[in-house]
């Protein structure tokens, strides 16, 4: 496990909007393991689940919420993102639920907080750690 | 302004902003977006050797700029300044989408189309608004298949635009691009072209403005026979060169387009001079990716004094080192070797003897799927040395999307490296094989030795 992953996980778990992962954050039939396997090729440092399934605050009128996943991977800096997205989406299709995936590099992830982007707002409302390299 | 100074200026600005564009999730506004679009065009003109940037740009151009982004870019905004920025930002956005594609994210793509259609609807009813002509014309010029309805009513709008007495050559050029996509509008095209040719014959702007106009004529308008004929092109190039000589600076936004024009119009010697500046000063796209792992790396060759030290570092302390011995060495140092250096610099525990390590070379597993390969000896004497290295790397390519970083302190035989690169590009598993050359290897050593000193 890299110290990067360790410090990132520590940082995330100390954030106010961090919540423990619970099964009700994932749609029926979707498993954390299934998502991990689908994103395994990205060698993720950390995979987060965020959005209304975690925060229970809805910002759209849709009845069902998408599953919002954020994957932090060093590999995001080395491949065209299009290729990584297309492969990840293909793998995630097996999960049978609409997943809104974001793939960011480690430094890109830090900039989400620095730049206060829309993704940062979503994380501020609540997120949980679905997978961390720390646990491998 | 001398071409060399212009090249240096653009390189400095590119080095300064490209990394933050790549890493920041904040979408740049019109100025920076246009700077990056023109820089992308410049890399396309340079062709060979700059593929990393073409990939890098296409990656960032298509990312999701957040859902509400386009909803806040109204080119008919009441404030003239906002209308100008928004309209010109759409020009860059249409050009990017036409050349590279819509954002990856489906909802961002839908918002892009939704708001552009809304604004085109508003533009139709306000043809006299300042700056609106850039927005409408670029939609027709760059994405006629997407904005078919706009293509239909564009000729009537263009008639109104052309009825204005004062039109800049930039306006005329975007009109001409748009008329390419409107069948049966030769008369309007001729009107616009006649005014542009008149300006070319009798240029009236300041030299600062003229530079960008001549540059645009060279880089974007050569598809038009009336502008690419020998006489007009000669005049355009001459006027471009003399205007550039007369100015002290070029604004940042247009600097890549002006440099693009310089390169296109240059003789072989000047082309070489421009390339020499770019090769020596431009931070490669690879460096920005490597900074994910080693954030202290610099583009400048700042660690020359480490040349000898980097060549003295051993791959491993002994040929059959165990994982436990390595871990123990991290606390109780037995010597400096590449395993120890990589462990310290990446803050990871060494994982050796994985299924991917063959022969007596180091494959440093940073994570499953992310490897650093070191060949810290010269390939010179023994036959088959290169074969082992080749086999070692190809074994790693069996992992899906393997990232293999090759540390190259001895500048391993180029043919071996080429063969590994070929194997990577033909692998079905889509690996990336990146060579970390001596310049960066020396910086790794320097950082390691510095950290060791301060740890004591």
Min Cα–Cα distance to chain B from A68, Å: 13
B275 interface with A at CB cutoff 8 Å:
no
Distance from CA of B64 to the nearest CA of A (A): 9
Q: How many A/B residue pairs have CB atoms within 8 Å? A: 92
Share of chain B above pLDDT 70, in %: 95
The whole-number pLDDT of residue B251 equals 94
B68 close contact with A: CB closer than 8 A: yes
Closest CA to B417 of B433, B402, B399: B433
Instruction: Kindly state the average pLDDT of the residues A43-64.
Output: 79
Return mean pLDDT, chain B. Answer: 88
What is the Cα–Cα distance from B413 to B384, expressed in whole angstroms?
12
Among B232-236, B431-435, B436-440, the range scoring the smallest mean pLDDT is B436-440
What CA–CA distances, in Å, run from A90 to A32, A38, A79, A87, B216? 17, 8, 17, 5, 42
Give the single-character DSSP code of B283. P
Judged by a CB distance cut-off of 8 A, whether residue B330 touches chain A is: no
Tokens of B356: 């991917």
Kindly state whether A115 is in contact with chain B, defined as any CB-CB distance less than 8 angstroms: yes
Neighbours of B80 (CB within 10 A): 11
| CA atoms of A109 and B25, how far apart (whole Å) | 9
CA distance B339 to chain A (A): 15
Whole-structure pTM value: 0.74
Query: Residue B360: what pLDDT?
Result: 55
Q: Does the beta carbon of A104 lie under 8 angstroms from any beta carbon of chain B?
A: yes
pLDDT, tens digit, for every residue of B43-84?
999 977 788 788 888 877 887 676 568 888 999 988 889 999
> Which residue has better confidence, B204 or B319?
B204
- The residues with which A102 forms a beta bridge, in sequence order, are A70
pLDDT in tens, B250-273: 999 999 999 999 999 999 999 999
Q: Using an 8 Å CB-CB cutoff, list chain B residues near A85.
A: 104
What whole-number distance in Å separates Cα of residue B122 and Cα of residue A56?
38
Q: How many CA atoms lie within 13 A of B415 on its CB side?
A: 5
B47 compared with B355, residue with greater pLDDT: B47
Cβ atoms of A45 and A78 within 8 Å: the answer is no
Q: Do B66 and A118 touch (CB under 8 A)?
A: yes
| CB pair distance less than 8 Å for A1 and B348 | yes
Give strand pairing partners of B435. B406
Q: Between chains, do B432 and A41 touch, taking CB under 8 Å as contact?
A: no
Q: Do B370 and A41 touch (CB under 8 A)?
A: no
**What ipTM does the predicted assembly reach?**
0.89
Q: Are B83 and B76 in contact (CB under 8 A)?
A: yes
Distance CA B394, CA B420 (A): 7
Question: Is A134 within 8 Å of chain B by CB?
Answer: no
Question: pLDDT tens-digit profile of B381-396?
Answer: 666 778 888 888 898 9
C-alpha distances in angstroms, B192 versus B150, B223, B380? 19, 15, 66
Residue A107 Cα, gap to closest chain B Cα (Å): 6
Partnered with residue B18 across adjacent β-strands are none
Lookup: tokens for A37:
């396997």
Q: Chain B contacts of A78, Cβ < 8 Å?
A: 289, 292, 403, 432, 434
Q: CB of A64 within 8 Å of any CB in chain B? A: no
């Amino acid at each position: 496990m890299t110290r990067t992953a360790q410090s990132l996980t520590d940082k995330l778990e100390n954030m106010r909007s961090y919540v423990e992962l619970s099964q009700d954050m994932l749609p029926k039939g979707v498993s954390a393991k299934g998502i991990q396997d689908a994103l395994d090729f990205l060698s993720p440092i950390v995979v987060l689940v965020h959005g209304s399934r975690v925060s229970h605050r809805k910002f759209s009128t849709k009845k069902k919420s998408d599953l919002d996943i954020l994957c932090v991977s060093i590999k995001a800096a080395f491949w065209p993102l299009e290729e990584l997205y297309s492969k990840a989406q293909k793998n995630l299709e097996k999960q049978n639920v609409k997943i809104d995936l974001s793939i960011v590099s480690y430094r890109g992830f830090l900039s989400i907080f620095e730049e206060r982007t829309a993704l940062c707002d979503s994380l501020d409302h609540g997120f949980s750690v679905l997978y961390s390299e720390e646990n491998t | 302004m001398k071409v060399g100074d212009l090249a240096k200026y653009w390189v400095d600005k590119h080095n300064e902003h490209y990394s933050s564009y790549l890493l920041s999730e904040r979408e740049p506004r019109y100025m920076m977006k246009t700077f990056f679009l023109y820089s992308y065009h410049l890399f396309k003109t340079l062709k060979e050797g700059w593929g990393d940037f073409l990939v890098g740009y296409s990656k960032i151009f298509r990312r999701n700029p957040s859902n509400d982004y386009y909803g806040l870019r109204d080119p008919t905004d009441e404030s003239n300044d906002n209308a100008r920025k928004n309209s010109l930002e759409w020009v860059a956005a249409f050009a990017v989408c036409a050349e590279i594609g819509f954002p990856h994210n489906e909802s961002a793509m839908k918002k892009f189309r939704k708001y552009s259609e809304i604004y085109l609807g508003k533009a139709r009813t306000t043809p006299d608004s300042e700056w609106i002509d850039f927005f409408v014309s670029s939609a027709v010029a760059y994405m006629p298949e997407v904005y078919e309805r706009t293509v239909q009513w564009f000729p009537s709008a263009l008639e109104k635009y052309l009825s204005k007495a004062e039109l800049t050559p930039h306006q005329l050029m975007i009109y001409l691009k748009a008329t390419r996509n409107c069948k049966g509008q030769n008369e309007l095209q001729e009107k616009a072209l006649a005014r542009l040719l008149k300006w070319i014959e009798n240029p009236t702007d300041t030299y600062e403005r003229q530079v960008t106009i001549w540059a645009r004529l060279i880089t974007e308008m050569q598809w038009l026979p009336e502008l690419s004929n020998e006489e007009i092109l000669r005049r355009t190039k001459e006027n471009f060169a003399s205007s550039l000589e007369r100015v002290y600076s070029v604004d940042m936004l247009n600097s890549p387009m002006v440099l693009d024009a310089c390169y296109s119009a240059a003789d072989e010697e000047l082309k070489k001079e421009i390339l020499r500046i770019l090769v020596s000063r431009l931070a490669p796209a690879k460096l920005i990716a490597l900074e994910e792992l080693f954030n202290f790396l610099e583009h400048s060759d700042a660690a020359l004094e480490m040349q000898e030290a980097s060549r003295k570092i051993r791959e491993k302390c002994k040929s059959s080192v165990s994982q436990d011995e390595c871990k123990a060495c991290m606390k109780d140092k037995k010597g400096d070797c590449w395993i120890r250096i990589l462990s310290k610099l990446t803050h990871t525990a060494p994982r050796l003897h994985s299924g991917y390590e063959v022969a007596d070379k180091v494959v440093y597993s940073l994570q499953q799927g992310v490897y650093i390969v070191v060949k810290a000896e010269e390939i010179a004497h023994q036959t088959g040395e290169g074969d082992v290295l080749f086999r070692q790397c190809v074994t790693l390519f069996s992992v899906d999307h393997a990232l293999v970083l090759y540390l190259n302190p001895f500048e391993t035989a180029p043919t071996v490296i080429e063969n590994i690169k070929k194997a990577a590009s033909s692998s079905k598993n889509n690996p990336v094989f990146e060579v970390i050359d001596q310049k960066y290897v020396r910086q790794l050593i320097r950082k390691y030795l510095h950290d060791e000193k301060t740890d004591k």
